[in-house]
A and B are shown apart, each in its own frame.
Chain A
Amino acid sequence: MTSAGKTAKTQMVALLMAGLGLGGLVVAMLKEPLWGYTNFLVCAFFFVTLAAGGLVLLALNTVAKAGWHIVLKRVFEGYAALLPMGALLILLTLVNLLSGSGSIYEWARPGVMDHDSPLYDHLLHEKVAYLNTPFYITRMLVALALWLLFSFRLRRLSLAQDKDNLLERTHQSVRWSTGFLVCFALTFSMASFDWIMGLEAHWFSTVFGMYNIAGLLSSSVAAIVLTCILLSKAGLLPEFRIPHVHDLAKLLFAFCTFWAYLWFCQFMLIWYGNLPEETIYFVRRWHGGWQPIFYLNFALNWVLPFFLLLPRPLKRNPNYVAMVALLVLLGRWVDIYLMVTPYNFSSPPIGWVEVSALLGFVGLFVFCLQRKFRKVPLISKNDPYLQESLNLH
């Protein structure tokens, strides 16, 4: 089969998955709002962090004036180009936030902030200056708008260089990337506080944003190495060779360990301090029905990738690295699921809603990503560092 034929077939399968899965998820959101929207948030957050992750990795490499990654630069950009879709998905979570008593966010339910209501929660009311709908929506819009601004800018500079071959485009990219990294560190911390930590608004952890950035980095590297391997298997990215796989596998190894470091930072301080308002987060997850998921999370995101990626020859084996990347992606879903769900569910409600949400979002992601890849050449031919990447050893 020609590569165009293969692409068309993948598109069909992805679209079918998206249709079936999202259809099921919509039914769930109508019939079981709490369960359905929980899964919608998990997958939407996963989607938007993968998209933003592409932009973060692109910006990191651009700021470092790295050359190794240029043959995969368009893959990073393809991920970043999914940000509008990711932003739309995140905006859709507002439907639930504004739906009143069905909201997955306790602070947004009617009566919680009202002195005379039986649902009144004094601790949450103390935070009303931050946790109120207008301010929440403003913060969300600001964060998403900034990410989109930077992603459009960097994409335009890269595509413009294809046409005019100006070195100045690279210099401009470095400046915009620097701005993006500073802006993203702040806005993404805020976003993970708002969208995820806000579900359990009594609880707080200052390292939560950093922890999510670590998860974003490891899962994005996993997704990108998987994408590159699949693209090169389909013959669409012949410049992608074993040294690139090796470098990405090393990054995956490092970021998984970074994730474990931050996971432990958060866990250790809370466990050691043993203050009830902090430990409640881990009591909910470490005991009872959530316990297997708690251990699974740590195993998938660190123990397995760490030991599987230790030997050098294995890091240079594309099929093997692709398998490990899949494990890490599954681990990231488990991680987000474990952050989002336990407050509203005392044991994991894993069932048809999870399956259809995952199916639908994977389909949607693959479908959108492939459209982005088809729009532009997969090699940025005028990048000054291209030769370095082609000769990567």
Chain B
Amino acid sequence: MSKVRTVGWFEQEAQILNATKAARKAGLKVVDVYTPYAVHGLDEAMGLKPSKLTWVCLLAALGGGGGMFSLMLYTSAIAWPLNVGGKPFVSAPAFIPVTFEAAVLSAALMSVFAFFVRSKLFPGKKVVPLERVTDDRFALELLAEPEQARHFLQAQGAVVVQEVP
């Protein structure tokens, strides 16, 4: 029998944590978990790997900071040497604040954009969310044989179980 995606809705935070753990133990594939707020311990229960977004953040910070520092170095010491208050042309302390700001700005913007790209979010995109998961219910989405998934979810205490396309 082919595998389908089945969603079970739960009413308690503890239930969704236990169900997620049990699903992975039982060899069912957990597609995703939807909760109205961030549930602590869910990342471990789902077996999520550490996010790669932090690498984007680090590289963007180094790139933004390094790029800005080089730009200032080039403009005020090489292209058109500027004498400011008799200080050396290459005055690193004076460049630090802008370097810092550029690093923070590019790290923040690049992280957000990388997140949008990775989760395929863009303006105008229409997504129909699962019912009540932004309100008061916790949903577990499994990819498994429908009968097995239905039994498993009901045994874990799901109040509604539904197959989704």
Contact = CB atoms under 8 A, between A and B. Distances in A.
B96 A264 contact: yes
A272 B94 contact: yes
Contact of B93 (A272, A310, A312, A393): A272
Given A267-B93, A272-B94, 15 more contacts: A264-B93, A264-B96, A268-B93, A268-B94, A268-B96, A268-B97, A271-B93, A272-B85, A272-B93, A274-B85, A310-B58, A312-B50, A312-B54, A393-B40, A393-B41
Contacts of B93: 264, 267-268, 271-272
A312 B41 CA distance: 16
A267 B97 CA distance: 12
A184 B98 CA distance: 33
Contacts of B40: 393
A393 B93 CA distance: 41
Interface string B5-49: 000000000000000000000000000000000001100000000
At the interface, is chain B mostly helix, strand, loop or mixed?
helix
A46 to B, nearest CB: 28
A15 B96 CA distance: 47
Interface string B84-115: 01010000011011000000000000000000
A312 B48 CA distance: 14
Interface of B: 40-41, 50, 54, 58, 85, 87, 93-94, 96-97
Contacts of A271: 93
Contacts of A272: 85, 93-94
B124 to A, nearest CB: 35
Interface of A: 264, 267-268, 271-272, 274, 310, 312, 393
Nearest to B43: A393
Identify whether the interface residues of A are mostly helix, strand, loop, or mixed: helix
A299 to B, nearest CB: 16
A-B residue pairs, 8 tightest by C-beta: A393-B40, A393-B41, A271-B93, A268-B93, A312-B50, A264-B96, A274-B85, A272-B94
Contacts of B41: 393
Nearest to A274: B85
Nearest to A312: B50
Contacts of B54: 312
Nearest to B54: A312
A369 B97 CA distance: 41
18 contacts: A264-B93, A264-B96, A267-B93, A268-B93, A268-B94, A268-B96, A268-B97, A271-B93, A272-B85, A272-B93, A272-B94, A274-B85, A274-B87, A310-B58, A312-B50, A312-B54, A393-B40, A393-B41
A125 to B, nearest CB: 32
Contacts of A274: 85, 87
Contacts of A264: 93, 96
Contacts of A393: 40-41
A249 to B, nearest CB: 15
Contacts of B97: 268
Contacts of B85: 272, 274
A68 B97 CA distance: 34
A357 B79 CA distance: 53
A101 to B, nearest CB: 39
Nearest to A272: B94
Nearest to A268: B93
Contacts of A312: 50, 54
A40 B113 CA distance: 54
Nearest to A267: B93
Nearest to A393: B40
Nearest to A265: B97
B61 to A, nearest CB: 11
Nearest to B41: A393
A310 B55 CA distance: 11
Contacts of A267: 93
A281 B21 CA distance: 60
Contacts of A268: 93-94, 96-97
A274 B84 CA distance: 12
Contacts of A310: 58
Nearest to B50: A312
A278 B128 CA distance: 63
Contacts of B50: 312
A271 B94 CA distance: 9
Contacts of B96: 264, 268
A288 B96 CA distance: 24
Nearest to A271: B93
A312 B57 CA distance: 14
A267 B41 CA distance: 43
A321 to B, nearest CB: 18
A267 B54 CA distance: 31
